[in-house]
Amino acid sequence: MIFKPLSLRSRIFIAMILLVLLASVLIAAVTIYQYNEEARDYHAERLERKEENIKQSINYAIKETTYVVNTENIPLIFKDDIFKIAAIHKLQINLYDLEGELLKSSKATIEQDSITKCIPSDILNAINNSAEHRYVFKNEKNGEIFQSSYTFITDEKFKNIAILNLPYLENDDFLNRELNEFLLRLGYAYLFMILAAIVFAYFISKYITRSLKTISDKMYQTRLEKRNKKIEIESSSAEINALVNSYNSMIDELEESAVKLATSEREQAWREMAKQVAHEIKNPLTPMRLSVQSFQRKFNPNDDDINKKVDEFSKTLIQQIDTMSSIASAFSNFAKMPAQRSENLNVVNIVKLALDIFNEDYIEFRAEEDEIIAKFDRTQLIRVVTNLVKNSIQSIKHDAEDPKIVVEVSDKNNDVMITVADNGLGISEDNQEKIFEPKFTTKSSGMGLGLAMVKNIVETYNGSITFTSQMDKGTIFTVTFPK
């Protein structure tokens, strides 16, 4: 499946929405990470504070005791004080000897089965090897995270006498509530931002692409054969202004090129016209010259048939002169643009009138209605019909068994349609592309200007002429022009 590329406007719109969504996800991720870091630091600092305060309370109890301060007397020294200290600081306290054996715990005796009776050797090594003589062990149990700190207790001479163990539960309920509340507020804020971004992206993408749409429409309408308008856009960016200036510059160059091309084509057309006129005029001049030369050689005033010969000579000259006159008239009619006269005509009657000049009895006329009114020049309409019918007559063989030409007038969707159909020789595929070109003809006589003139007249009135043809079966010419 081939997907159609997204428009620039759609890409801008989607990019802005994705940018807001990406920002919201990143901020949420950073927020969660920051809360987790703060929670970790909070518990570590809280455990240190608890440990420092408890050690101060233990040192005070050691100073006030009447027992000898050593490892063996730890259970006696803290017989009652350990419960007071644990209650004040709301934290369980365990005291171990320097070998890791449990000496005293603030936990009730019935619950002491869950207390580690002996500190593992790796923890003892970590305490001894630590520069601070302190080690914090972290583990997870039943989905809850526990920290357990180990540090030395010293006597007044700073001699180690016991190991203090403080089990600490990381309770994140409060922090989690704060995090959830913050994420909820952040979600509401970003939901509003996404909605605002959708509206903003819609209008900003529309504003950005509006100028490009104007330029695109103008470029689509650009034509070589007509005068193109320049683009005028106010309050646009520097990039759009550069594009508009480039387009306007191109329009100026295109107009100059069109003028040069039209001038060149016009000059070429007149050169071709002059060649054709010269060629056509030379054709009758040659027999005229030969006739005059023959008359000069054979002229004898005493000849009994002199009057007959002069008469034949005169007819020959008149015939060639008439040929030259018809050539001049044909080129004159082709070169002259038909005047656009807004004359309301009954096309049916005008076409009938144009057919009256033909004597061929195989020409048939048909009309859908008795009256079809349209604006057209009477003379030019007669010229169109007579040229098409004359062309059809010339395409029919002289020895054809059943020659037929049908001229039909109809009304089609506010247009007038005139068709001229014949069963003549038809037009070959090689000649179909050239049929409307001036001076093109397949006949031994004529100048090939008839169909070119018809096309010129019809297009002047915003109409069109088309044809279909089959060799040895005939041709149908269709003229259509608006009423």
Q: Look at residue 110 in the predicted model and tell me its pLDDT.
A: 45
More confident residue, 95 or 208: 95
> Can you give the length of the chain in residues?
483
- Residue carrying structure tokens 């063989």: 397
- Mean pLDDT over all residues of the chain? 79
CA gap 411, 132 in Å, rounded: 110
Count other C-beta atoms under 10 Å from residue 304's C-beta.
7
Average pLDDT on 17-44 reads 84
| Domain boundaries 238-335, corresponding CATH code | 1.10.287
Mean pLDDT, residues 196-223 taken together: 73
Domain 344-482 has CATH 3.30.565.10: yes
Distance CA 440, CA 428 (A): 14
The answer to whether the beta carbons of residues 467 and 436 sit under 8 Å apart is: no
pLDDT at res. 408: 94
| Higher pLDDT, residue 230 or 114 | 230
CA 182/CA 189 separation, integer angstroms: 10
Query: Could you tell me if 156 and 63 are in contact, meaning their C-beta atoms sit under 8 angstroms apart?
Result: yes
Token pair listed for 233: 């856009």
What is the SS3 assignment for 145?
A: strand
DSSP 8-class letter at 336: S
Q: Edge-to-edge strands of the sheet including 160-169?
A: 102-105, 94-96, 160-169, 144-154, 134-141
Nearest to 89 by CA among 170, 167, 161: 167
Whole-model pTM over 0.85: no
Q: For 8-176, give the CATH class.
A: alpha beta
Q: What is the pLDDT of residue 342?
A: 66
448 pLDDT higher than 50: no
Q: Which residues pair with 470 in a beta bridge?
A: 474
Using CA atoms, how far residue 255 sits from 223, 232, 390, 458, in Å, is: 10, 18, 41, 27
Q: How far apart (Å, rounded) are the C-alpha atoms in residues 86 and 10?
A: 66
pLDDT of the residue at 478: 94
Unique residue bearing structure tokens 């007819």: 315
pLDDT in tens, 452-464: 888 888 888 889 9
Closest CA to 64 of 56, 195, 455: 56
60-70: pLDDT as tens digits: 888 888 888 88
479 vs 381: CA distance, rounded Å:
11
The pLDDT value recorded for residue 480 is 93
More confident residue, 342 or 149: 149
Q: Rounded to an integer, what distance in angstroms lies between the CA atom of residue 63 and that of residue 52?
A: 17
Residue extents of the structural domains in the chain: 8-176, 238-335, 344-482
